Amino acid sequence: MSVRILALVGSLRAGSHNRQLAEAAAKHAPEGVEVVLHEGLGQVPFYNEDIDVEGTVPEAATALRNAAAQADALLLFSPEYNGTIPAVLKNAIDWLSRPYGAGALTGKPVAVVGTAFGQYGGVWAQDETRKAVGIAGAHVVEDAKLSIPGSVTRFAETHPADDAEVVEGLTKVIEQLSQAQPVAA
């Protein structure tokens, strides 16, 4: 049986190291696991309950919800912006948490990884992301973690897909996530 993991990247920048990390995850996913990067988080409007009404939900939000619903698990890639979670990733979590108690995240296994320029690799943002996605109803796979410090220098000349240590860490996280079971709401 194949496992489908949806990757959401919390950085919209074209040269994002977290985007590159997600590309590495897709490239090096173990056999039987498919990691699919979701495009279009930048087009999802800020969550507003007034527009989250059947028949009027923005197309980008519907596409995000459908992609998450079709996935067996989610892998979130979070950089650290001012010591916390990027708005685009928090917004995606907000959309996926609705409708309350029955959102696309409900009970679904989720892991959070990332890279940042600082010496801790964005752990504050990743911890905040785990907190938010857990409150939103997901099953956070707490042991599946990877924080890579010094992204600007570490990946200045090397793509994460070509960094053996990064690939090993990503592979371990993907294996843990692919083996996690959904949790009943």
Amino acid letter, residue 28: H
Q: How far is CA 44 from CA 12, 65, 96, in A?
A: 12, 11, 11
Model pTM score:
0.97
Q: What is the pLDDT of residue 68?
A: 98
pLDDT attached to residue 1:
65
Alpha-carbon torsion 57, 61, 67, 69, what sign? negative
Residue 41 CA to residue 11 CA, distance in Å, equals 9
Q: What is the pLDDT of residues 126-157, one digit of tens each?
A: 999 999 999 999 999 999 999 999 999 999 99
Distance CA 26, CA 154 (A): 20
Domains of the chain, start order:
3-179 (3.40.50.360)
Q: According to the model, what pLDDT value does residue 86 have? A: 97
Q: What is the pLDDT along the chain (185 residues), one digit of tens a residue?
A: 699 999 999 999 989 999 999 999 999 999 999 999 999 999 999 999 999 999 999 999 999 999 999 999 999 999 999 999 999 999 999 999 999 889 999 999 999 999 999 998 999 999 999 999 999 999 999 999 999 999 999 999 999 999 999 999 999 999 999 999 999 86
Query: Cα(159)–Cα(128) distance, rounded to whole angstroms?
Result: 26
CA–CA dist 137, 185 (Å, integer): 8
pLDDT at 28: 97
